[in-house]
């Protein structure tokens, strides 16, 4: 392998996040460069953040040297993928391991996106302040420098064994219901922020018993003004009466007002009407970028759809996958149906794998997404929205004021899932079981304030080592439910044609 190594910075499309991340990018580059030089390599930096696909094509396309993408904040997958797809030079995705600067989130999304287009890449990460002093990191970096790839332990990845008859019966009943009436997903826009791994499309959805119907988000601009003020006011009273705590007008977020929440409810009601018009079963909502400067963020609306207690609802939830991510939408809908078939609340939480830390000798993941989670996770009561807090989404990312749908997740056993596309074009379902853990209040506040405190929070043991997730998990997104439906989800996924991977120690 060449002694020269190109280091590049995948970036956000938006200028402000790149500006915020610049000090971290420079610091991480120096740490990585020191580590490479210690191994006898000669690193050089590709100029500037890659903030658009054309920049990746222009700047990375001509490079034949080994390349390392350095992730220190949220980035878009095409800002790497479009510049390296079709090439075979060694590629390494490197990230810090930080809650505040979540490069690992972008690494997981980009790694999954590269896999879905058949582009080989390795992964490496560290939480050390001196990367060259991290022995494990250096061993892996040396392996990549010598061989062009890193081999990871696969001992916690398993193929399914026999399914218990009772679980098989539940799965068969759900499968029969899908055969009787295929699932229709209303896709409000396309996948957001270049999530290449999150779009399956009709050719993959049809064999699973799903269909999609795309509606441009611009329809909200057309439909919204026709929503009556009475419906908005009724919905506003509903969420207040059901117990949502709104953090309007707090210092620094004075533009977050009751009127901002009402505008979010206007969009919610417009989508209620679209779901009814097309008789759709579930929803994928793009929400970011397309209407970013025109409408408030959709997180509050998405949280309501994922909750049993919601305005103009029927007591049930409408599975809603933020960022129009079909890789989460499919397992979320399947998990909801399995839960309901067992007589359990069909609530599913949508989260990011944001960060993780050790608490009392146990590694716990901080699962944290901007708002597309169910109120059930915060209260375990299908009749209320108590425990839900709505904070203003950070203005640097969301210029139009609007609130999140946040809370602290309750403790309990969980099942988790994610579907993805492998390098052969086949669909895979990753599954695991674990536990949502209640942390001491001081630890919870420390973890929240070290990440994004406006977002829903879950501290989770995913039932396997941290390294199994970092090395093998194929997304930054994860679907989580309370209760044990692992066997049922395994059986249903296999019957639909997924290759199933089970993560456990």
Give pLDDT tens digits for 246-266.
Answer: 999 999 999 999 999 999 999
Q: In terms of DSSP bridges, do strands 499-503 and 157-158 run parallel, antiparallel, or are they unpaired?
A: antiparallel
pLDDT at 20: 93
DSSP character at residue 406: B
Residue in the structure block whose two tokens are 């210092």: 251
Q: What is the pTM of this model?
A: 0.97
Q: What local confidence, expressed as pLDDT, does residue 201 receive?
A: 94
User: What pLDDT sits at residue 328?
Assistant: 97
Tokens of 175: 């499968």
What CA–CA distance (Å, rounded) separates 407 from 402? 16
List C-alpha distances in Å: 128 to 102, 120, 131, 237, 458.
Answer: 14, 26, 6, 49, 24
User: Residue 52's pLDDT is what?
Assistant: 96
Find out whether 117 and 82 touch, Cβ atoms under 8 Å. Answer: no
Q: Of 18, 17, 13, give the one whose Cα is nearest residue 51.
A: 13
CA 296, CA 265: separation in Å to the nearest integer?
A: 10
* CA 41 to chain CA centroid, nearest Å: 35
Nearest to 298 by CA among 433, 202, 390: 390
C-alpha distance across the termini of the chain, in Å:
35
Q: Are 80 and 49 in contact (CB under 8 A)?
A: no
Interior/surface letters 34-60, b for 16+ CB within 10 angstroms, e for the rest: ebbeeeebebeebeebbbbbebbbebb
Task: Assess contact for 66 and 90: CB atoms under 8 A.
Answer: yes
Query: Is the Cβ–Cβ distance between 267 and 300 less than 8 Å?
Result: no
Please classify residue 73 by burial: count the beta carbons closer than 10 Å to its beta carbon, then call 0-12 exposed, 13-18 middle and 19+ buried: buried
- The Cα–Cα gap between 84 and 93 comes to 12
In the block, residue with structure tokens 């533009």: 255
Backbone CA torsion sign across 485, 198, 51, 79: positive
Residue in the structure block whose two tokens are 């999954």:
112
How much of the chain exceeds pLDDT 90, in percent? 93
pLDDT, residue 55, reads: 98
Cα–Cα distance, 394 to 268 (Å, whole number): 20
| Structural domains of the chain ordered from first start | 4-147 (3.40.50.10940), 165-216+274-293+321-503 (3.20.14.10)
Ranges of the chain with pLDDT below 50: none
Please give the pLDDT value at position 290. 77
Using CA atoms, how far apart are residues 131 and 128, in angstroms rounded to an integer? 6
- pLDDT, position 1: 75
What pLDDT shows up at residue 195? 86
Here the tokens at position 64 are: 């034949």
The residue among 252, 274, 250, 107 whose CA lies nearest residue 185 is 274
pLDDT the model gives residue 101: 87
Beta bridge partners of 417: 431, 479
CA nearest 322: which of 357, 363, 284?
284
């Amino acid at each position: 392998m060449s002694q020269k190594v190109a280091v590049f910075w995948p970036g956000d499309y938006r200028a402000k996040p790149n500006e915020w991340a610049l000090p971290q990018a420079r610091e991480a580059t120096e740490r990585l460069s020191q580590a490479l030089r210690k191994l006898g390599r000669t690193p050089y930096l590709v100029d500037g953040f890659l903030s658009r696909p054309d920049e990746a094509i222009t700047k990375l396309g001509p490079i034949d040297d080994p390349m390392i993408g350095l992730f220190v904040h949220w980035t878009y997958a095409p800002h790497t993928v479009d510049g390296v797809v079709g090439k075979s030079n060694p590629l390494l995705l490197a990230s810090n391991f930080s809650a505040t600067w979540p490069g690992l989130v972008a690494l997981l999304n980009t790694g999954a996106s590269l896999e879905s287009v058949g582009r080989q890449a390795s992964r490496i990460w560290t939480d050390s302040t001196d990367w060259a002093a991290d022995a494990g990191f250096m061993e892996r970096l040396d392996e990549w420098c010598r061989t062009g790839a890193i081999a990871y332990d696969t001992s916690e990845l398993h193929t399914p064994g026999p399914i218990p008859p009772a679980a098989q019966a539940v799965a068969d009943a759900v499968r029969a219901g899908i055969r009787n009436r295929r699932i229709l997903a209303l896709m409000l826009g396309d996948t957001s922020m270049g999530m290449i791994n999150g779009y399956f499309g009709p050719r993959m959805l049809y064999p699973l018993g799903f269909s999609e119907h795309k509606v441009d988000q611009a329809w909200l601009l057309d439909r919204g003004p026709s929503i009556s003020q009475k419906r908005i006011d009724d919905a506003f009273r509903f969420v207040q009466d059901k117990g949502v705590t709104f953090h309007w007008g707090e210092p620094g977020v004075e533009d977050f007002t009751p009127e901002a929440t009402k505008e979010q409810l206007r969009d919610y009601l417009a989508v209620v009407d679209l779901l009814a018009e097309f008789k759709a079963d579930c929803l994928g909502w793009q929400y970011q970028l397309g209407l970013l400067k025109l409408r408030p963020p959709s997180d509050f609306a998405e949280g309501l759809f994922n909750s049993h207690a919601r305005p103009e609802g029927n007591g049930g939830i409408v599975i809603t996958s933020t960022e129009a991510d079909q890789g989460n939408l499919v397992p979320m809908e399947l998990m909801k149906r399995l839960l309901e078939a067992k007589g359990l609340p069909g609530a599913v939480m949508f989260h990011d794998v944001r960060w993780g830390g050790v608490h009392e000798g146990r590694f716990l993941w901080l699962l944290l997404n901007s708002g597309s989670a169910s109120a059930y996770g915060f209260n375990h009561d299908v009749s209320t929205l108590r425990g839900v807090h709505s904070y203003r989404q950070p203005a640097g990312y969301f210029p139009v004021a609007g609130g999140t749908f946040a809370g602290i997740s309750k403790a309990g056993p969980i099942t988790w899932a994610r579907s993805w596309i492998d390098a052969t074009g086949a669909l895979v379902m990753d599954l695991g079981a674990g536990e949502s853990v209640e942390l001491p209040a001081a630890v919870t506040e420390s973890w929240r304030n070290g990440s994004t405190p406006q977002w829903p929070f879950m501290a989770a043991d995913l039932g396997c080592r941290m390294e199994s997730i970092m090395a093998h998990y194929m997304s930054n997104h994860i679907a989580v439910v309370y209760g044990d439906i692992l066997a049922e989800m395994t059986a249903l996924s296999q019957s639909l044609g997924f290759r199933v991977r089970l993560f456990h120690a």
